Amino acid sequence: MSRVFNFSAGPAMLPEAVIKKASEEMLDWNGEGMSVMEMSHRGKAFMSIASKAEADLRTLMSIPDNYKVLFLQGGASQQFAAIPLNLLGDKKTADYVNTGMWSKKAIAEAKRYCDVNVVATSEDSGFTTIPDFSTWTLNPDAAYVHYTPNETIGGVEFDYIPDTGNVPLVADMSSTILSRPIDVSKFGMIYAGAQKNVGPAGLTLVIIRDDLIGNAAENTPAMLNYKTHADNDSMYNTPPTYSWYLAGLVFEWVLQKGGLEGMGQINKAKSDKLYAAIDGSDFYANPVEVRYRSWMNVPFTLKSADLDAAFLEGAAKKGLATLKGHRSVGGMRASIYNAMPEDGIDTLVNFMNEFAKENS
């Protein structure tokens, strides 16, 4: 069976070149006579894999020297608790922006540890826009400001980095990291689950400024304390070694694609093509304010929900998989992360045009 175009929101497609290289190295990595998944995380072979992966990520994102890069477990959701435990210090409040389901989950978890000031919310709009920055009620005494640059479910994405002054900015970049260049120095901390643009599930990236490490609450579990992992090069315990290795292969692949400048151009072109197909038809619709449409997650509805099942069935026959929208939103959702080739977008657009013609 040939490979399908997988539009899943995560775990998502991996670059075919990465999967092929991993398969070639499955039984014997670099003459070691063993698979990466069998290696000791403290052995020279894996240590070389780990250090190269970090170096390549630093190059890709131009990460300043005063930031640590941590390769952790637990997913982005575990960071919802780790962030207040580590960053509150002697403060009692933190600012959060609510732009969708993942923002809401981060807010709910943070409320277990501190007073949460929701500085802005777009819930009244059904999370189809971003509140204008001029309306945000930022607290200059907050420990940090948390936001989700891209909401995977609603397909809403910031087109700017909020300026929070001296208050550290914290971003859940799970579904937008590595999709285009960003200025890391504008953030106190960036975190991301791997299973969208970085690699397979099981790995979580944390990029954190040095001065924000070492201030954890006394009751913070060792495994949730950033200092634990920073002091041990992310190897306090056995890390997700194979996911780390695959992430390293993805970093190499992105570099070969022209780095984040190159990926940004590719991703913009892919999303523009798909949105043009939606906007150019009265059969499909996207609910998000144009300015804040996501490059990575494109929800759309058909003229009648009664056609959804037929659309999905027809799409599957064309090798277009996992297009069903999230249950909270309905309709369809095409997640078009870095690994989605332009051929996948072309195949989807052609099918959408055919389906609309047949069912208008």
User: What 3-state DSSP class applies to 195?
Assistant: coil
The 10 Å Cβ neighbour count of residue 1 is 4
What lies within 8 Å, CB to CB, of 352 at 6+ separation is 277, 278, 281, 284
Beta strands 115-121 and 93-98 are parallel
Q: Report the catalytic residues.
A: 102, 172, 196
Task: Report the sign of the C-alpha dihedral through residues 276, 351, 264, 182, in that order.
Answer: positive
CA 357 vs CA 33, 281, 350: distances in Å: 56, 10, 11
Q: What is the DSSP letter of 283?
A: S
11 preceded by a cis bond (ω within 30 of 0): yes
CA 338 vs CA 99, 164, 238, 264, 345: distances in Å: 23, 29, 28, 9, 12
User: What 3-state DSSP class applies to 189?
Assistant: strand
CA 134 vs CA 4, 130, 152, 170, 180: distances in Å: 44, 11, 24, 19, 26
Q: Which two tokens stand for residue 5?
A: 């175009």
